[in-house]
Amino acid sequence: MDWQLDLDPSSNSRVHMRLYKNVKNVEEISKKLFEGKLNCCVIKPHLIVDPFQVAVAANKAVVAENLTTKTIFTEILFNLSISKNITASLKTFGINDTDKDLLVVSISELDEVKDTVDFINGDEISVKDINKLTDVNIVKKTYKITDEEFKNNDLLDSIISRIAIK
């Protein structure tokens, strides 16, 4: 159930996303991520309202002339945040050992076939259903969206605007 989207044509890249619930080996995944053994980033899906939100952050990462962080995958996490603090951004959007739901994001060349994700012991669900895992109150707090703004604007539009102007 791989969700994919071509990014900026100049990057010759595509973003891939897979969504999992009830993951049983989160500690192992966290360890592999920390050691740089996985070619992806893993995001807390309760902070994501739509896959496009991640695609915008991924696109910013692949077209950047210089990365602010060490890898393209930490750059995606950093770009999702409105904070300029790298550690805070990674902590907010990256997973921790108590998470059970995961959004796995990878980047490939347009002509590259992506390998299946076989390191996750959980139930894969459609990325289109990510809004079922979204915690709107935490999203509003994370992106500093007031009740007034929330009433008058689309939540995704507010988030994308904040990601774009950072």
DSSP SS3 for 112: coil
pLDDT at residue 115, as a whole number: 58
pLDDT, one tens digit per residue, over 52-70 is 999 999 999 999 999 999 9
Q: What is the mean pLDDT of each successive set of 10 residues along the chain, which is 166 residues long?
A: 91 95 96 91 98 98 95 97 96 95 92 69 96 97 96 96 93
Read off the pTM.
Answer: 0.93
CB 55 within 8 A of CB 106: no
Give the Cα separation of 71 and 28 in Å (integer).
20
In whole angstroms, give the CA distance from residue 82 to residue 19.
23
**3-state class of 126 per DSSP?**
coil
Assess contact for 105 and 17: CB atoms under 8 A: yes
pLDDT of residue 113: 58
φ, ψ of residue 143 in degrees (nearest 5): -95, 5
Give me the pLDDT at residue 110, please.
Answer: 73
For every residue of 8-28, which 3-state class applies, written as one string?
CHHHCEEEEEEEEECCCCHHH
> What is the model's pLDDT at position 111?
67
CB 94 within 8 A of CB 77: yes
Listed by start position, the domains of the chain span 3-165
Looking at the domain covering 3-165, what would its CATH class be?
alpha beta
Buried b (16+ CB within 10 A) or exposed e, 41-79: bbbbbbbbbbbebbbbbbbbbbeeeeeebeebbbbbbbb
